[in-house]
Structure 1
């Protein structure tokens, strides 16, 4: 993981056989790890599922929206 400007962490992942990077703020990475663990998945596997269903949306944005919806569903 590398830290970019503004507290954004960039992490490289292998998704669907290709390497890609995802840039998220720390609270999103933390929530994503929690959601993945709750589902018995690795972060990489969960991001792969998000990637498969995102259409034309930017992957980092798709992950943020996924995390937001998951948190909203808990409340």
Structure 2
């Protein structure tokens, strides 16, 4: 089930929709990087450019992070 979340990016409220599992992974990544969740979301948003939407960019970020983590050192 997809849930709607909201955050503030560059002073503006925005929302995105994710499955709770993706949101949980984002929180875990933020904790591992010692960042507030909003800072991590802002980082992903800034890197995505104008193509695609924030929800998709967040899913792709989580996927890339998990794939990289699975490669080991």
- Would you call these one fold, judging by a TM-score over 0.5? yes
Runs of 4+ aligned structure 1 residues displaced above 3 Å come to none
User: TM-score with structure 1 length normalisation?
Assistant: 0.88
CA distance in 2, matches of 1:57, 1:49: 15
Superposed displacement of residue 11, structure 1? 0.8
Q: Which runs of 5+ in 2 are unaligned?
A: none
Number of aligned positions between the proteins: 69
Q: CA RMSD in A?
A: 0.6
Aligned position for 1:46: 40
CA distance in 2, matches of 1:50, 1:20: 14
CA distance in 2, matches of 1:36, 1:10: 19
CA distance in 1, matches of 2:23, 2:52: 19
Aligned position for 2:64: 69
Aligned position for 1:25: 19
Q: Which runs of 5+ in 1 are unaligned?
A: 1-6
Aligned position for 1:3: none
Superposed displacement of residue 42, structure 1? 1.2
Decide which structure has greater strand share.
Answer: 1
